[in-house]
Amino acid sequence: MTTPEDDGPGVALPGAKARLSVSVDATVDPDRYTFQAVSVHGPRRSWRVEGEVVRGAQGLAITELTIRPDPGLAGGITGALMRDIPIGALLDYVRDQITRTTTRVLGNASAEAEAALRRGGRQVLSDQMLREVAMLYLDETEAGKPPGAVGRMAKRYERPEETVRTWLARARKAGWLGPSKKGKAGADPGPRLIEESDQPSLTTRRPGLNRFGPVCVSTR
């Protein structure tokens, strides 16, 4: 399976008619991120969007969006142009960049925790074991990974899939995982992983972001 970065400049997101140049940035608020995206190759309706993503009780959500059409585009912002902007796919992209950055900074879970999870029988799950479960689940549900994350985890730990689902629920309740994604596998890093990662620089730059003029930056 290809990843969004394959086959040419920019990224190819589901539902987008053009390849996009995208950047994602962390802010001083660990629950707030900003992103910018520009169509770099595709239909006549070229555009740029700037948005804000905030983590709430239901996970990450786009709370603000500014649309800027190409100054040379007749008609300005139209319904057709709005339909070209894959808002859901952009949110998924931001979510994936946050997850990749968090797991990359935190590194691999301990061999001791993995060995403990392989043991049979009923056992009390320590924080370290729940952290291990969360980290592996985030890795197994990254963009580009095939479906079946729970099955692969069950095989790795040599435990039933239902047991792994119970572990994931406990990891979410303990704050290692964020809310599940409605209708699809995956989750955001939980508040404890975000805190542990110390919110490193998340900037992901792509060429072409200044194509339609300067970016307006606000602080609050």
List, for residues 102-125, the tens digit of each pLDDT value. Answer: 777 776 656 666 677 777 666 778
Indicate whether 198 pLDDT > 90.
Answer: no
Question: Mean pLDDT for the chain?
Answer: 76
Angle at 154 between CA 153 and CA 158, to 5 degrees: 120
Q: Where along the chain do its domains lie?
A: 108-197
pLDDT at 100: 81
CATH number of 108-197: 1.10.10
Indicate whether 161 pLDDT > 70.
Answer: yes
Q: For 40-81, what is each residue's pLDDT tens digit?
A: 765 555 788 999 999 887 888 899 999 988 777 667 788 888
Indicate whether 25 pLDDT > 80.
Answer: yes
Percent of the chain with pLDDT over 90: 19
pLDDT at 41: 62
Residue 89's φ and ψ, nearest 5 degrees, are -70, -35
Of 208, 203, 206, which Cα lies nearest the Cα of 97?
Answer: 203
Q: What is the C-alpha separation between 32 and 52, in angstroms, rounded?
A: 7
22 class by beta-carbon count within 10 Å (0-12 exposed, 13-18 middle, 19+ buried):
buried
pLDDT at 110: 61
Angle at 66 between CA 81 and CA 10, to 5 degrees: 65
Q: What is the C-alpha separation between 169 and 58, in angstroms, rounded?
A: 15
Mean pLDDT over 171-187 rounds to 82
pLDDT at 39: 83
Lowest mean pLDDT among 20-34, 40-54, 163-177: 40-54
